[in-house]
């Protein structure tokens, strides 16, 4: 809710059509601009609907363009109605963004309807803490996604959105040196050894093969024994060290060609 209103608030001009009816935006709208000497590109898209809600060719192609626009983005601003709270559609968009490897930010718009905009928008208030706690309960697995509070109508919180987007974009392309990564992974395995099907996991080597999103490749004795829960543990260890705010981390598990010989 309020994607086009947010775009207009960021640009401080009526660049996109705003309507109280959802689904007004049909085409993607690319708008280059500069923020604090940093060139940026805003991509306003049609709302991404559930497959059963797509009606007719116009909706279908609007949906297709929106999903393609997501592939071009570095950071996805997932705008939610703060008064309404997180919806199934918001969670679906977040999953699409993460599956596409995009960094994400929850943008809670219309916060002025939740708290009076008398200086509260920039403060860490109890209402915000409760909102974030509820978000984590309703969207498990997205703890790494920051929440920013704005009022597009009043143009409050816009600086926070843009500064957070720049921070998240930096994490999205941050590479951990191979030596540091291997030490972290091996320490994590030492502190919590893992055995499955009677076979202990051995991690011989780790490397960050790509960024945008960060992609960690593990070379192990047997990929079949690596459970997603253990990858989540390793990811938490990586995030505890390097944060990676807002960006998903991808894991690729490959077999080592052979076990190293014992000295």
Tell me the C-alpha distance between 34 and 37, whole Å: 6
239: number of Cβ within 10 Å = 16
- Interhelix angle 178-191/228-242, rounded to 10 degrees, is 120
Q: What 3-state DSSP class applies to 30?
A: strand
Does the pLDDT value for residue 174 go beyond 90? yes
DSSP state of 230: H
Kindly give the pairing relationship between strand 147-149 and strand 103-109.
Answer: parallel
Tell me the C-alpha distance between 201 and 188, whole Å: 12
Does the pLDDT value for residue 215 go beyond 90? yes
Q: Give the pair of three-digit tokens for residue 109.
A: 């718009």
Tell me the C-alpha distance between 126 and 130, whole Å: 6
Q: Nearest 10 degrees: CA dihedral of 140, 243, 160, 81? A: -10
> What's the pLDDT at 43?
86
Does the pLDDT value for residue 60 go beyond 60? no
Do 46 and 40 contact (CB within 8 A), yes or no? no
> What's the pLDDT at 20?
47
| Mean pLDDT of all residues belonging to the chain | 85
DSSP state of 115: S
pTM recorded for the entire structure: 0.84
Does the pLDDT value for residue 209 go beyond 90? yes
Q: What 3-state DSSP class applies to 220?
A: strand
> What's the pLDDT at 57?
45
**CB-based burial label for 222 (10 Å; 0-12, 13-18, 19+):** middle
pLDDT band at 13 (very low <50, low <70, confident <90, very high): confident
- pLDDT tens track for 151-163: 999 999 999 999 9
> What's the pLDDT at 19?
44
> What's the pLDDT at 259?
52
> What's the pLDDT at 27?
57
Tell me the C-alpha distance between 125 and 48, whole Å: 31
Q: Give the pair of three-digit tokens for residue 260.
A: 């190293």
| Count of positions (residues) in the chain | 263
pLDDT band at 26 (very low <50, low <70, confident <90, very high): very low
- If phi over 0 gives left and psi between -120 and 50 gives alpha, with beta otherwise, what is residue 41? beta
> What's the pLDDT at 144?
96
Name the β-bridge partners of 105: 77
Does the pLDDT value for residue 212 go beyond 50? yes
Does the pLDDT value for residue 96 go beyond 90? no
Helix, strand, coil shares of the chain as percentages rounded to 5?
Answer: 40, 20, 40
Kindly give the pairing relationship between strand 203-210 and strand 215-220.
Answer: antiparallel
Name the β-bridge partners of 41: 32
259: number of Cβ within 10 Å = 9
Lowest mean pLDDT, pick from 53-67, 137-151, 154-168: 53-67
Do 98 and 244 contact (CB within 8 A), yes or no? no
- pLDDT tens track for 76-86: 999 999 999 99
Lowest mean pLDDT, pick from 45-59, 122-136, 202-216: 45-59
Mean pLDDT of 22-27: 48
pLDDT band at 68 (very low <50, low <70, confident <90, very high): confident
- pLDDT tens track for 101-138: 999 999 999 999 999 877 666 678 999 999 999 999 99
């Amino acid at each position: 809710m309020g994607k086009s209103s947010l775009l207009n608030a960021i640009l401080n001009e009526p660049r996109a059509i705003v309507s109280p009816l959802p689904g007004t935006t049909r085409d993607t709208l690319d708008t280059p601009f500069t923020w604090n000497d940093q060139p940026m590109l805003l991509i306003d898209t049609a709302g991404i609907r559930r497959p059963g809600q797509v009606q007719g060719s116009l909706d279908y192609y609007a949906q297709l363009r929106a999903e393609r626009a997501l592939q071009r983005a570095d950071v996805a601003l997932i705008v939610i109605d703060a008064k309404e709270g997180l919806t199934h559609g918001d969670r679906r968009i977040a999953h699409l963004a993460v599956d596409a490897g995009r960094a994400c930010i929850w943008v809670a718009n219309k916060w002025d309807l939740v708290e009076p905009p008398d200086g509260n928008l920039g403060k860490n208030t109890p209402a915000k803490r409760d909102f974030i706690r509820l978000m984590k309960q309703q969207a498990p697995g997205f703890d790494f996604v920051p929440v920013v509070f704005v009022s597009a109508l009043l143009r409050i919180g816009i600086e926070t959105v843009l500064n957070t987007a720049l921070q998240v974009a930096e994490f999205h392309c941050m590479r951990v040196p191979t030596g540091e990564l291997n030490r972290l992974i091996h320490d994590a395995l030492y502190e919590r050894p893992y055995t499955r099907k009677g076979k202990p996991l051995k991690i011989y080597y780790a490397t960050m093969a790509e960024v945008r999103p960060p992609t960690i490749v593990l070379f192990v004795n047997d990929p079949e024994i690596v459970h997603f829960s253990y990858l989540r543990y390793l990811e938490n260890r990586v995030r505890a060290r390097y944060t990676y705010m807002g960006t998903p981390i991808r894991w690729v598990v490959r077999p080592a060609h052979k076990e190293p010989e014992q000295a």
